Structure 1
Amino acid sequence: MEYKPHQYQDYATGRIIDTEYIALLLEMGLGKTVSTLTAIDQLLNDYFDTSRVLVIAPLRVADDTWAREVTKWDHLQHLRISKVLGSAVARRKALKADADIYVINRENVEWLVGELGTSWDFDTVVIDEISSFKNPQSKRFKALRRVRPMINRVIGLTGTPAPNSLMDLWAPMYLLDQGQRLGNTITSYRDRYFTPGKRDGHVVYNWNQKKESEERIYEAIGDIAVSMKAEDWLELPERIDRVVLVKLSASAKALYDQLEEDLLLPYADADVVANTAAVLSMKLLQMASGAVYDEDRGVKLIHDAKLDALEDIIEAAQGKPVMVFYNFKHSLSRIQERFPQTRILRKGKDGNQDIAEWNGDQIPLLLLHPKSAGHGLNLQDSSCQTVVWYDQIWSLEEDQQSNARVHRQGQTRRIVVLRLVAEGTMDEEAVSALERKAAGQDALMDAVKARIDKVASA
């Protein structure tokens, strides 16, 4: 695909090249990965300022996103990526591979530092979701801190630099500038910008910001932090659609393929049977989401891949409300079991109370069925910016009406609609069908609009 960067993406790429250590604070949906890869490519092959690049990321991002972005864009396809993942043997082999970029999950940073020691040879390090290094007592932070003096360039990426409070800024910023701006220790940072709050003896449970500390902190890091909000760069209200591809395990995919081919999954108590094309389609969508109904309406568990992906999304939202659409009851129950903070929209007066609490940011995770999220439901006043389709559906009307609950008149924030799509399954067919339907509808509307304009000007 040809890369046609937005103005803000060109700006972000330029700042990475011009700044030896930088925090790129881009909200979800602004394309921070491709902007960073474009800068890395130029540093490697145009400026010759970088020779060996390490990317540290959440596991699923490390395993999929960076490599996928390289293959997606024409100007990046020459870059070679080695995934330092899996067993210690596999990781060591990946480190020896001839590549431009080495990608490792953040849980293995301590291992990597111990493995290389003083032979550390990564001159550029990208920390994807650098806010996950916010705890200065964590092993990952301490390990990276030890090798930080041997790194020439550090690029920190996140949309939420201070997920809980400004206290969370110190450790990530230290990994960038080694304490030049916010102090060499968390203690000095606290003393400068905070006062003790609740305490029990000598133990302080929370810290309160001093007057004007926020402005002073942002001023201190302003030269190495690029903060971009979607509302500053995109027409509002903007809706950004993303497909989050979910990989199934070999065993789960084998069960899926068996039902697709044989129309039958035998079990000791009750079989899973698909005796018509319509039933097969629905059963395959169920399996793509992780479970399937048998002949007795019992639930057969297949995988947890989408639950894991949803957990990553909720973590990335860093406390902001998340709206999730489900289509199957077993998806509802499994999500509720994994995430106890979940709420569903009730009916009548109770439902009105739920709407008020959602719009007041009192519900962190709201589950909705597409058929219950139709016309007249106003949910746009919360700070929710993430809508997740856990199950995929065929109805364009239900899809559009559901998304319009938050992406509608009065919305001031951009909305990111994420579709969890199991690779190689009926999920992909459902999403493609919606896209075709939407394209057809858009073409019709454009034609009608052109005809109206022509008549009006006659």
Structure 2
Amino acid sequence: MKYNPHRYQEYATARILDTPFIALLLEMGLGKTVSTLTAIDLLLNDYYEAGRVLVIAPLRVADDTWARETAKWDHLRHLRIAKVLGSAEQRRRALRSDADIWVINRENVEWLVGEYGSKWPFDTVVIDESSSFKNPQAKRFKALRRVRPFIKRLVELTGTPAPNSLMDLWPQIYLLDQGERLGKTITGFRDRYFTPGARSGHVVYDWKQKQEAEQRIYEAIGDVVVSMKAADWLQLPERIDRTVPVKMSESAAVLYKKLERDLLLEYVDADVVAQTAAVLSNKLLQMASGAVYDEERGVKEIHDAKLDALEDIIEAAQGKPVMVFYNFQHSLSRIKARFPQAQTLRKGRDGNEDIRAWNNDEIPLLLLHPKSAGHGLNLQESSCQTVVWYDQIWSLEEDQQANARVHRQGQTRRIVVMRLVAEGTMDEEAVAALERKAAGQEELMQAVKARIERVRGS
């Protein structure tokens, strides 16, 4: 296929070429992979400023997306991709292969650094979905930090740079500049821009932003961060977000309030117990969806209200495919029991066949977990116009990435995203938390948004 880049894609490629260490905050659907591959090709074959290129990505993306994109576009087909996946021996064999770009899943970054140490061979590194490096205590971050001095070019790609708070930015920016802009330690970053809030003993688990902290952070990183929003560049069809209130039965509401109050539901065979606040939150979300795990991992069914609501939505879709996101395995089991036509997305080649079948309207009801369907899936070619969140989640990143599987470049139909929210339950708290996080991230994206017209003086 001939590549006719949008102006924002030309700009993204140019910024990669001009800025050795850069973060591109490209919203889902803006074609960040082909923009980056175009820059890599130029660095390898025209400018000779890159020798060995490493791409770090989520597993499914590493296994499929980067190789598929090089095969898709005429100007990239000469690029050779080596997938550093599978067993240790398979990974080593891939590293020894003659390639232009080596792609590895993020879980194996620590292994890769251990293989090479100070003999690190990759002068150019791309981190696809850099928000997966937001935890400074994670092994993958510490490993990459060790070899950062050997990297001459680094590109970070993500649409959700701060899914929880601005605290998520420090590790990602550190990998770009080794602490030049936001400080060399997370402790120093916190002390400069935050004040301690709620704590348990000496452990602070909630930090409050200081006055004007956001503005100061944005100003500090503005030269190495470029933000682009799909709404600014693409004429996407309308996306409508709807909350669908679900009323639990009276008996279910009684059980819900009892667990919330007593942290215990007693059953003959095995009790439902919530020993911590985190466990209680999870159990209450489960109950809001209709079932809950007991102490023996058995399932206690509570109500069918969400199943009934989903049945109404499927009927209203009038035969068009419906996509449903679930978070709990018991939700998946109960949905499949009620709707035999439902199908989950399989792994590997089977999963690629499922994607083809979905995009050809051969799957009427597709059930997806946000963790496995968040990155690299193009599911916008079906006639689906209805996305349903059966279970509610806390992660803004997973929420935005999952919704963007359908509402992205190439979509021609209006999309309605429905959230089944059990009234008076933790569902309402989860949805409200996502809205607050989205507002904070929107401020970040706006603050560093690329102003192409101004930059080019046109």
Task: Please report the TM-score for the alignment, with normalisation by the length of structure 1.
Answer: 0.58
The residue that corresponds to 1:234 in the other structure is 234
User: How big is each residue's C-alpha offset from its partner over 1:136-182, in whole Å with a ceiling of 9 and x where there is no partner?
Assistant: 00000000000000110000000011110000000011111111100
Match for 2:112: what amino acid? L
User: How big is each residue's C-alpha offset from its partner over 1:393-413, in whole Å with a ceiling of 9 and x where there is no partner?
Assistant: xxxxxx98873679xxxxxxx
Shift of 1:119: 1.5
Cα pair distance change 1:166/1:88, threshold 3 Å: same
Matched pairs, number: 300
Is 1:81 the counterpart of 2:81? The answer is: yes
User: How big is each residue's C-alpha offset from its partner over 1:54-86, in whole Å with a ceiling of 9 and x where there is no partner?
Assistant: 000000000000000000000000000000000
Match for 2:123: what amino acid? D
Distance in 1 between the 2:169 and 2:220 partners?
A: 12
Match for 1:312: what amino acid? S
Shift of 1:201: 2.3
Secondary structure of 2:12's match?
Answer: helix
Distance in 1 between the 2:221 and 2:108 partners?
A: 28
User: How big is each residue's C-alpha offset from its partner over 1:250-294, in whole Å with a ceiling of 9 and x where there is no partner?
Assistant: xxxxxxxxxxxxxxxxxxxxxxxxxxxxxxxx9xx9xxxx99x99
The residue that corresponds to 1:177 in the other structure is 177
The residue that corresponds to 1:195 in the other structure is 195
Secondary structure of 1:121's match?
Answer: coil
Distance in 1 between the 2:107 and 2:196 partners?
A: 32
Cα pair distance change 1:308/1:153, threshold 3 Å: farther
Distance in 1 between the 2:344 and 2:101 partners?
A: 34
User: How big is each residue's C-alpha offset from its partner over 1:351-379, in whole Å with a ceiling of 9 and x where there is no partner?
Assistant: xxxxxxxxxx999999xxxxxxxxxxxxx
Distance in 2 between the 1:303 and 1:222 partners?
A: 39
The residue that corresponds to 1:63 in the other structure is 63
The residue that corresponds to 1:129 in the other structure is 129
Distance in 2 between the 1:160 and 1:363 partners?
A: 8
Cα pair distance change 1:309/1:88, threshold 3 Å: farther
The residue that corresponds to 1:20 in the other structure is 20
Distance in 2 between the 1:364 and 1:50 partners?
A: 31
Shift of 1:116: 1.0
The residue that corresponds to 2:164 in the other structure is 164
Secondary structure of 1:125's match?
Answer: strand
Distance in 2 between the 1:365 and 1:104 partners?
A: 21
Match for 2:132: what amino acid? S
Secondary structure of 1:312's match?
Answer: coil
Match for 2:174: what amino acid? Y
1:278-293 correspondence runs (5 A)? none
Cα pair distance change 1:326/1:310, threshold 3 Å: farther
Cα pair distance change 1:41/1:316, threshold 3 Å: closer
Q: Is the 8 A contact 1:124 1:154 kept in 2?
A: yes
Is 1:312 the counterpart of 2:363? The answer is: no
Q: Is the 8 A contact 1:341 1:365 kept in 2?
A: no
Match for 1:46: what amino acid? D
Distance in 2 between the 1:72 and 1:217 partners?
A: 38
Shift of 1:341: 2.7
Is 1:403 the counterpart of 2:403? The answer is: no
Distance in 2 between the 1:401 and 1:232 partners?
A: 18
Secondary structure of 1:167's match?
Answer: helix
Is 1:42 the counterpart of 2:42? The answer is: yes
Secondary structure of 1:115's match?
Answer: helix
Distance in 1 between the 2:157 and 2:45 partners?
A: 22
Distance in 2 between the 1:363 and 1:151 partners?
A: 30
Shift of 1:214: 0.6
Cα pair distance change 1:326/1:178, threshold 3 Å: same
Secondary structure of 2:23's match?
Answer: strand
The residue that corresponds to 2:403 in the other structure is 386
The residue that corresponds to 2:120 in the other structure is 120
Shift of 1:202: 1.3
Match for 2:37: what amino acid? L
Shift of 1:325: 7.1
Secondary structure of 1:190's match?
Answer: helix
Distance in 2 between the 1:175 and 1:128 partners?
A: 13
Identity %: 64
Q: Is the 8 A contact 1:58 1:106 kept in 2?
A: yes
Cα pair distance change 1:43/1:309, threshold 3 Å: farther
Is 1:341 the counterpart of 2:401? The answer is: no
Match for 2:228: what amino acid? M
Shift of 1:235: 3.7
> Structure 2 stretches of 5 or more lacking a match?
240-318, 323-331, 348-365, 378-383, 419-458
Match for 1:72: what amino acid? K
Distance in 1 between the 2:133 and 2:397 partners?
A: 23
1:250-261 correspondence runs (5 A)? none
Distance in 2 between the 1:63 and 1:122 partners?
A: 19
Distance in 2 between the 1:400 and 1:227 partners?
A: 24
1:427-438 correspondence runs (5 A)? none
Q: Is the 8 A contact 2:23 2:156 kept in 1?
A: yes
Q: Is the 8 A contact 1:55 1:126 kept in 2?
A: yes
| RMSD, matched Cα | 3.9
Distance in 1 between the 2:20 and 2:192 partners?
A: 26
Match for 1:311: what amino acid? K
Shift of 1:209: 0.6
Distance in 2 between the 1:10 and 1:298 partners?
A: 46
Distance in 1 between the 2:155 and 2:18 partners?
A: 12
The residue that corresponds to 1:208 in the other structure is 208
Q: Is the 8 A contact 1:125 1:154 kept in 2?
A: yes
Distance in 1 between the 2:44 and 2:223 partners?
A: 24
Shift of 1:326: 7.9
The residue that corresponds to 1:277 in the other structure is none
Task: Please report the TM-score for the alignment, with normalisation by the length of structure 2.
Answer: 0.58
Distance in 1 between the 2:385 and 2:416 partners?
A: 12
The residue that corresponds to 1:437 in the other structure is none
The residue that corresponds to 2:352 in the other structure is none
Cα pair distance change 1:363/1:325, threshold 3 Å: farther
